Amino acid sequence: MIETKGYATHDTNAKFVPFNFARRDIGDNDILIDVQYCGICHSDIHQAKGEWGNSTYPMVPGHEIVGNVTQIGSAVTKFKVGDIAGIGCFVDSCGKCSSCRADAEQFCKVHCAATYNGTEMDETTPTYGGYSKHYVVDEGYSLKISPDQPLEKVAPLLCAGITTYSPLRRFKVGLGTKAAIVGLGGLGHMGVKLAVAMGAEVTVLSTSPSKEADARALGAHYFVVTTDPANLRPLAGTFNFILDAVSADHDMDMYLKLLDVEGAMVLVGLPENPISARAFSLAGNNRILAGSSIGGIAETQEMLDYCAEHNITSDVEVIPITEIETAYDRTIRADVRYRFVIDMATL
Ligand code: NAP
Ligand code: ZN
Ligand code: ZN
């Protein structure tokens, strides 16, 4: 076993303390990553605080991981020592079922091993995430990262990037699409950058008037404050696509009504409580309400390559590992510009 350390919470209070633990020995297909940066996703907060009802402790969160490959197993072909590698939201799956064969490993019919707050394929050994010094992972579940971009700004692509890229592609957002992004946080700001790069006309729908200048700097064409319903009335029936990246409970009908004929609203935000919507909000204009969950390894690599080619990275605030709790509090208050990233050199 490989001794390592991280920061863990031991219960739903989400108080983080140093935590020593071991990674598995490097198998033939494994690489050892010396973690340099790990983003703080709102999913970390939901799980650390037990809001999804599936939390196990001690929990070392973190699934936006980048670092150096420092050792490789005997059968590894994708990486050599010194390369940069990334890990997203899962680290293993069966590799054989229909989902895995369709490059949608996140929906593995057998078991998808979450990067943390999950278990390995034995469904027993707990997984610990990227708020840590090292990670041992099968090369097939890690991503190639171009060394040319600042790595702290690349880390958030491993979750926020793929989670927004995948539905934009699935719904063919591009030139001629009127798209809205709801919630300008970690996911939302990546959604804006990607939708703009794909050629869409992008509107940000936000509860935070203070974010207007940022939204425009990110490339958004319009910015609308949603706390006054009067602002939304002129937008009824105008969007082809809405990406809902809101982390807290909110009114669905208010946004569904903004969709044009055959328009689709895709939920990527995962609030604690069930959602409700009026059937009329969907039946009118033949609207579509859909969900989307991260992306498979192949699509994640495609997104990373697309971002490298188009010079797209995340806007980040880099923090020492001792400031996780402050970062959580600020993220919950929608006061993050636009992703906190932990510098693992501070661990
Ligand atoms: P985040 O950085 O905290 O951003 C969430 C944004 O939602 C905030 O910045 C805020 O934007 C808006 N918001 C917050 N509270 C709100 C409220 N009460 N009413 C309306 N808007 C509110 O979070 P994130 O990391 O982007 O994650 C967003 C959600 O996606 C989380 O639920 C997370 O768990 C989920 N997620 C899902 C997947 C997936 O695969 N589906 C992957 C990653 C994350 P404004 O200030 O602009 O209003
Ligand atoms: Zn995430
Ligand atoms: Zn599978």
Q: What per-residue confidence (pLDDT) applies to 93?
A: 98
Give 75-110 as a DSSP string. Answer: T--S--TT-EEEE-SEEE--S-SHHHHTT-GGG-SS
**The predicted structure's pLDDT at residue 70:** 98
Atom of ligand 1 nearest to the CA of 187: 26
201 touches 226 (CB < 8 A): no
pLDDT value of position 226 = 98
Do 194 and 168 form a contact (C-beta atoms < 8 A)? yes
At 62 the pLDDT is 99
Question: Peptide bond preceding 338: is omega within 30 degrees of 0, i.e. cis?
Answer: yes
What local confidence, expressed as pLDDT, does residue 49 receive? 98
Of 206, 224, 247, the one to substitute when testing ligand 1's pocket (max ligand atoms within 8 A of C-beta) is 247
Ligand 1 geometric centre to CA of 236 (Å): 23
How far is 164 from 338, CA to CA, in rounded Å? 14
Identify the pLDDT of residue 98. Answer: 98
Quote the pLDDT of residue 83: 98
Q: Check: CB of residue 246 under 8 Å from CB of residue 271.
A: yes
Using alpha carbons only, how large is the chain's radius of gyration in Å?
Answer: 20
Which ligand number lies closest to the CA of residue 61?
2
Q: Which residues of the chain have pLDDT under 70?
A: none
Q: Does ligand 1 have an atom closer than 6 angstroms to the CB of 134?
A: no
Give the pLDDT score at 22: 98
pLDDT at residue 110 in the model: 98
CA–chain centroid gap for 84, Å, is 19
CA 299 to ligand 3 centroid distance, Å = 16
Helix (H) / strand (E) element for 305: namely: helix 297-309
Question: What amino acid occupies position 1?
Answer: M
Burial classification of residue 147, based on how many CB atoms lie within 10 Å of its CB (0-12 exposed, 13-18 middle, 19 or more buried): exposed
Quote the mean pLDDT of the chain: 98
What residues pair up with 264 in beta bridges, in sequence order?
241, 288
Q: For position 340, what pLDDT does the model report?
A: 98
pLDDT value for 295: 98
Nearest listed ligand to the Cα of residue 116? 2
Q: What DSSP assignment string belongs to 128-153?
A: --SSBSEEEEEGGGSEE--TTS-HHH
Q: What is the pLDDT of residue 60?
A: 99
Q: Let me know: does 29 contact 75? Beta carbons within 8 Å.
A: yes
State in Å: Cα 251 to ligand 1 middle: 14
Chain-centroid distance of CA 308 in Å reads 17
